[in-house]
Amino acid sequence: MIDSILDRMTLEEQVSLLSGADFWTTVPVERLGVPKIKVTDGPNGARGAGSLVAGVKATCFPVAIALGASWNPDLVKQMGVALARQAKSKGAAVLLAPTVNIHRSGLNGRNFECYSEDPMLTSGLAVAYIEGVQGEGIAATIKHFAGNESEIERQTMSSDIDERTLREIYLPPFEQAVRRAGVMAVMSSYNRLNGTYTSEHHWLLTKVLREEWGFDGIVMSDWFGSHSTAETINAGLDLEMPGPARDRGDKLVAAVREGKVDAATVRASARRMLLLLERVGAFKSKPDLTERAIDLPEDRALIRRLGAEGAVLLKNDGILPLAKTSLDRIAVIGPNAATARVMGGGSAQIAAHYTVSPLEGIRAALSNANSISHAVGCRHNRLIDVFKGKITVEYFKGRGCNGDPLHVDTVDKGEFFWFELPSDELDPADFSARMVMQYAPEESGEHVFGMTNAGLARLFVDGRLMVDGHEGWTRGANYFGTANDEQRGAATLDAGRSYELTVEYEPSMASEEGINLIAVRFGVEKPLGEADIAAAVETARNADVALLFVGRDGEWDTEGLDLPDMRLPGLQEELIEKVAAANANTVIVLQTGGPIEMPWLGNVRAVLQMWYPGQELGNAVADVLFGDAGPGGRLPQTFPKALTDNSAITGDPAVYPGKDGHVHYAEGVFVGYRHHDISAVEPLFPFGFGLGYTSFRWGEPRLSVREMGPDGISVSLEVTNTGDRPGSELVQLYVRSPKAKVARPDKELRAFAKLLLQPGETGTAVMKILPRDLAYFDIEAGSFRAEPGGYQLLLAANAADIRSVIDLPLPAGYMQPPSTA
């Protein structure tokens, strides 16, 4: 059928398939019955075509690092199934996920959106995720291919990575997604790889992806991430997104006529697009692009379970789990206590059905809610609190908010990110909007107003200009680098009085990098200070236990910018020190998208890392704190004692964050625990670390054969729960290699098994490795090579806790070209 359609297509029609129709859909060819399909973000929820911050509600699942911490492919596959169902509810046939870039620096703004520092763990979870999604008839899109481990100058930066490091660290998750999961789509990254944009990288997209790995799906650009016509399609980029066409369309037709692009190349890309439509069932029934909100009890239960499975208990002197009946007074403190920080920022954002804050979850878990006291203590927000309340929005043709409004809306939040305007009569390049709202402060005193805008905007308070985001506008870090840095203004306000706030907005379509967005965010807050910390300290002093919820949120852990450091932002460290001094029973609950430094660690009794676990956050937190569920997580990323202990933080800007448009991955394959091993730098918490509420006894490991052969080898190990609570144990299998002609890590993760056991129950961890798991990539030979000799298998609870060492001979040398399965 596909070839028949292609034979009847004109060149122009074939070309039309190779660009989006708009932000989220492909171009139909109605004459030949070729429908359009919709794509949707993202990794932790299916948003649909709505705004990043509004639109049809969607189910919010845990972010990728929380899934990485679960080390549970079976649960991740279940989440993939649920996400496919959510994608269908948004009329989408393609899910733009998963993200499998590697945790390199610890400062990447999208660290939360990626699984792990280890390519094997990342690969296993990505394969499970893709199998879950695609098993339900929805295409998964693995991203970002490749070398996108930082958000700094990401549209232009060249990630300079040698081939061995690429093959061993950064490419395996993509390779396994193709070979094992049959992923249907790959998204090229914004950055350049060794000087060439990945969207124009023939070696990457054709030689490696298609010819070596056998990929037969489509390659799409990241949004506005393609920059040329002939170069991209000749390299292997099929779909330019978003639409309408910028470098394809008439330009591509002309390139074929002029001989710069072979007509067969266009046909091959068009064929892959039609094959995608066939695979997602678009030819069998016309896709229904209607968007609906479905909030299912089974999804709620899965999210809650995943939250506990990914929760990592980093420290516990016996205070956890808390006994519900023996605590008369519980202090719930911190900037993340009463606010549900359920997701990171950027394109992964969705409008969740609901969110449960830790304070709400704890209150729901306890029969005596009166025993709970609450204090904020301090803020950690990077941007001023967004305005929440009734806002009347008037839309006008042209700039300046002149004449009668064409359309009027009422919304409840001061953030607008328009993919589509509310009327087809409004031109995204030539419209304006006026937002009017009332603000009545609860307390008198100085208040700070803030606004950031992709476009031009002004904020007025009772008619007086308070924040000018118009005159002198310059590009900053917000909204993927298309908006200015937040502009602020302060005023003294009186409690009980109502003030009229007005924001006037108009787009500015000028862009240095081709990314054109229209967005504005504004808010107001009364700053907190030492008096608020003092109030939190008193709250803690009068409690039996102080639960302190700290960390970051989606303003810090976000697409578009990297973190400035690895410390808790704001006054949180001061809050921790003072609360811990006032209450000896202080428990820290962290929410971050990656590692942080912990100078206060010795002053608290327990530390629980919850990441951003989705809409059931508060319930999952309560489950773990009170022992209704055990903390099932293990670290997917090393937590260093200090930022400078990270392999990428050398003091040389060429290594990180980059210099003169290049970032040099000088550490090579020694990323994460590999770096800590080889440099003997002790981490704060090692890769794979995590505590639980029970104890386990490990038996002696057994091998299926005595030496490595072509069919591989299985390792089995009995594990018994010797405690009085159910719990999960993780067995990690590392390979240690003999000396080779290249420097190799001390050990490398090659398999793992997670067991959930009841008290007294014994289970068997079974792990299989293949000859390639002993290999490194030999650049000269262009192959994976394992030299003959004595290897070792290390059975470990984490990267620093080796329980058994097994000698494994490899009698004959092994070499595998990357083009073989």
Is residue 477 within 8 Å of residue 559, measured between CB atoms?
Answer: no
Q: Is 163 helix (H, G, I), strand (E, B) or coil?
A: helix
For residues 360 and 339, what is the distance between their CA atoms, to the nearest angstrom? Answer: 9
Sequence letter at residue 231: E
Short-list 68, 173, 170, 70, CA closest to 130: 173
Tell me, yes or no, if 74 is annotated catalytic: no
Specify whether the CB–CB gap between 170 and 161 falls below 8 A. Answer: yes
User: What DSSP character marks residue 235?
Assistant: H
DSSP 424-457: TTSBTTBEEEEEEEEE--SS-EEEEEEEEEESEE
CA 737 to chain centre: 33
SS3 for 130? helix
Contact by Cβ (8 Å): 252, 18:
yes
Work out the number of other CB atoms within 10 angstroms of the CB of residue 581.
13
- H or E segment and range at residue 301: helix 297-309
Question: Which residue out of 41, 160, 222, 532 is catalytically annotated?
Answer: 222
**Which CA distances in Å does 209 have to 190, 702, 819?**
17, 37, 10
Q: What is d(CA 357, CA 374) in angstroms, rounded to the nearest whole number?
A: 12
- Helices assigned H by DSSP within 316-422: 358-365
Backbone dihedral angles phi then psi of residue 13, each to the nearest 5 degrees? -70, -40
Residue 731 DSSP SS3: strand
**Structure tokens given for 472:** 């002198």
Cα separation, 316 vs 723, in Å, equals: 16
What is the rounded CA–CA span in Å between residue 166 and residue 208?
Answer: 11
SS3 644: helix
Please identify every residue annotated as catalytic.
222
